[in-house]
Chain A
Amino acid sequence: MASSTGFPYKLTFGLALTIVIDTVVQLAWRIAAQDLPETPSWDVVGVVLGQPLFLLVVMLMLCQLFNWLQVLGQADLSFAQPFTSLSRITVSLASVYFLHERLAPEQIAGIVMVCAGAWCISQTARNTARNETPSP
C-alpha cells in the first residue's frame, strides 16, 4: 500500500501500465496500417472497421485514458507526462524484436538520454504542495 512518504507502488504501476499499453497500441497500429490502401479513400474506413487490430487499438486507448486519469490523480502532470517518453524506447526495442527493424547508433544514444532524463525527473517531488486551489 502506497503512502505519501513511502514508495509510490500505485503510481509506479500506473506509469508502467501506461508504457505497456502505449507500446502495444503503437505496434498494433503499425502492423494494422500495413494493410491500408496507400491512396486515401473511403475504402480505408471499411478496411479499418474490418481489422480486429484497429478495434483492439481503440479498446486499448480507452483503457489508456482510464489508467492515465488514475495516474494524474496521484502525481503532477509535469512529473507524470515525461515518463510516457519511455514508451518510445519500448516501441523501438519491440520493433527490433517483433518487426525486425534495426536501431541506429544515434537511436541507442537517444535511448540512453531518455533514460537519464526519466531518472532526473524521478528524483523530483511527484506532487506540488498546494496551499490553494488553482484558478479555473
Chain B
Amino acid sequence: MTPTAIGILLVILSSLIEGFGELFLKKSRLQRQRQIFWVLSGVSVFVVQMSVYTAALRFLAVGAAFAMSSLSFVFVALLSKWLLREEVTPIKWLGIALIMTGTSLIGGFA
C-alpha cells in the first residue's frame, strides 16, 4: 500500500470517527439519564479522531487532508439517519453535497 493510500484511509477513518463523536454528543441530549457517559464518550472519541487525523498528515498534504475531511458531513448525516432516526431529506443531501464540494475547494486550494 502506498503512503498516499494509507493517508487517504486514515482521513476516511478520522471522518468516520468524528461522525461517531458527534453522534455520542447528540445522544447525551437524548438520554439525559446517561448524559455524562455520552459526553465523556464523545470527547474521548474526538481525542482518538485528532490522533488519527494527525497520523494522516504524515502521509498527505494538509490541503488534501482538509478537503477530504469534509466527508465527515456525509458520515454524520448517514449516522444520524440510521442510528438517531433523523429525517435527512433530499434538499438536506443537496446542501451537504454543496458544503462538501465548497469546503473541498476552500481547503484544497489553501
Contact = CB atoms under 8 A, between A and B. Distances in A.
Given A78-B77, A81-B73, A134-B85, A116 B26 contact: no
Contact of A77 (B23, B89, B108): B23
Interface residues of A, number: 41
Taking each of A112, A115, A117, A136, which has the highest tally of chain B beta carbons within 10 Å of its own beta carbon?
Answer: A117
A120 B98 contact: yes
Contacts of A106: 105, 108-109
B73 to A, nearest CB: 6
A89 B73 contact: no
Contacts of B70: 85
Contacts of B85: 128, 130, 134
Contacts of B3: none
Nearest to B110: A107
Interface of A: 65, 68-69, 72-73, 76-79, 81-82, 85, 88-89, 92, 104, 106-107, 109-121, 123-125, 128-130, 133-136
23 contacts: A65-B39, A76-B87, A77-B26, A77-B76, A78-B81, A82-B96, A85-B70, A92-B110, A106-B105, A106-B109, A110-B104, A113-B102, A114-B106, A116-B95, A117-B94, A117-B98, A117-B102, A118-B95, A118-B99, A120-B94, A121-B95, A121-B96, A135-B83
Given A72-B29, A78-B87, A117-B94, 4 more contacts: A76-B86, A85-B103, A129-B87, A134-B85
List of 3 A-B pairs having minimum Cβ-Cβ separation, nearest first: A110-B105, A117-B98, A120-B95
